[in-house]
């Protein structure tokens, strides 16, 4: 478990998550008691931002950043990653605030990071991974989207769209965050693939994903379309041999490991 107060920053983007936010933060504080939590709220009309402020007043390890409107998941994480870099944290945790990512899975992800993973991904589609309360069509969409992205991007990762992950901040320093252009859930694909191309050591950790019981999913046709278009574009550039500019130049040697075989 973490020993340093500046070791871990958990980034929680929120939009209309008042019903689940307090439980999410409590779970994080229970399983990662020394971590800092950064809530990034996009002017939620349901009062999520007000609740976040209450949580921050009650806990010095919780901070809130308010944004003027619904600016997208990708830009929220870019902001949070910037805070992790400027704050000299060792690891940054990305997870949803809606209860779909279980806080009890955090220690396994942190353990993977401590064994050398620059990116530890909470993965649904490997042995030991589970999904609870998803209808069959949602499983087909998720697995089909993962297969599509994995094939076009020549990736070896089994769950490119998973938003539950731990990233070593040193690896984020090697990524041009300003060049990441996905606003929705395609951001998860973009960042994982970018780190994979950099040679980042990656471990996929099986998790249990639970369909949210409160609030409404943020998935929309527009978000799916953006991810589809971007994956096709990146795959086309990859096959043309065109330069894709997300990685910064680095002189560090890298290696790649994964928690499951293809």
Q: How many CB atoms lie within 10 A of CB 244?
A: 13
Q: What are the structure tokens assigned to 188, written together? A: 């998860």
**For position 141, what pLDDT does the model report?**
77
In angstroms, the CA 37 to CA 27 distance is 11
**For position 255, what pLDDT does the model report?**
33
- Per the CB < 8 A criterion, the answer to whether 38 and 65 are in contact is yes
- Per the CB < 8 A criterion, the answer to whether 49 and 41 are in contact is yes
In angstroms, the CA 192 to CA 165 distance is 9
Domain extent for 107:
8-240
- Per the CB < 8 A criterion, the answer to whether 161 and 146 are in contact is yes
- Is residue 233 helix, strand or coil? helix
Establish if 97 belongs to a structural domain: yes
* pLDDT per residue of the chain (262 residues) written in tens, 0 to 9: 344 448 999 999 999 999 999 999 999 999 999 999 999 999 999 999 999 999 999 999 999 999 999 998 999 999 999 999 999 999 999 999 999 999 999 999 999 999 999 999 999 989 999 898 877 877 777 777 788 888 888 889 999 989 999 999 999 999 999 888 777 778 899 999 999 999 999 999 999 999 855 555 555 566 666 667 777 776 777 777 765 655 554 433 333 333 333 3
Name the nearest CA neighbour of 96 among 81, 71, 77: 77
Q: Which regions of the chain does DSSP assign to beta strands (E)? A: 8-14, 36-41, 62-66, 91-94, 119-123, 130-132, 165-168, 202-206, 208-210
**For position 69, what pLDDT does the model report?**
94
Establish if 261 belongs to a structural domain: no
- Per the CB < 8 A criterion, the answer to whether 3 and 79 are in contact is no
Establish if 230 belongs to a structural domain: yes
Cα 29 to its chain centre, rounded Å, is 18
Establish if 215 belongs to a structural domain: yes
Establish if 82 belongs to a structural domain: yes
Establish if 212 belongs to a structural domain: yes
**For position 215, what pLDDT does the model report?**
53
CATH classification of the domain holding 122: 3.90.550.10
Establish if 111 belongs to a structural domain: yes
Establish if 248 belongs to a structural domain: no
How many separate domains does the chain show? 1
Concatenating the DSSP letter of every residue in 36-89 gives EEEEEE---TTSHHHHHHHHHHH-TTEEEEE-SS---HHHHHHHHHHHHHHTT-
């Amino acid at each position: 478990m973490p020993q340093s107060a500046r070791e871990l920053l958990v980034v929680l983007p929120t939009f209309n998550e008042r019903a689940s936010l307090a439980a999410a933060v409590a779970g994080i504080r229970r399983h990662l008691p020394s971590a800092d939590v950064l809530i990034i709220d996009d002017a939620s009309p349901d009062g999520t931002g007000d609740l976040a402020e209450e949580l921050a007043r009650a806990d010095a390890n919780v901070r809130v950043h308010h944004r003027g409107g619904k600016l997208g998941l990708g830009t929220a994480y870019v902001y949070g990653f910037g805070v992790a870099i400027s704050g000299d944290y060792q690891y940054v945790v990305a997870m949803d605030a809606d209860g779909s990512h279980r806080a009890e899975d955090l220690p396994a992800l942190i353990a993977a990071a401590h064994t050398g993973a620059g990116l530890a991904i909470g993965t649904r589609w490997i042995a030991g991974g589970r999904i609870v309360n998803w209808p069959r069509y949602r499983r087909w969409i998720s697995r089909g989207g993962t297969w599509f992205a994995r094939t076009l991007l020549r990736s070896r990762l089994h769950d490119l769209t998973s938003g539950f992950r731990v990233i070593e901040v040193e690896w984020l320093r090697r990524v041009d965050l300003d060049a990441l252009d996905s606003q929705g859930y395609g951001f998860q694909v973009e960042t994982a693939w970018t780190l994979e191309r950099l040679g980042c050591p990656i471990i996929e950790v099986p998790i249990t994903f639970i369909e949210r019981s409160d609030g409404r999913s943020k998935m929309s046709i527009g978000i799916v379309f953006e991810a589809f278009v971007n994956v096709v574009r990146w795959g086309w550039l990859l096959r043309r041999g065109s330069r894709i500019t997300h990685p910064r130049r680095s002189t560090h040697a890298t290696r790649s490991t994964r928690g499951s075989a293809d």
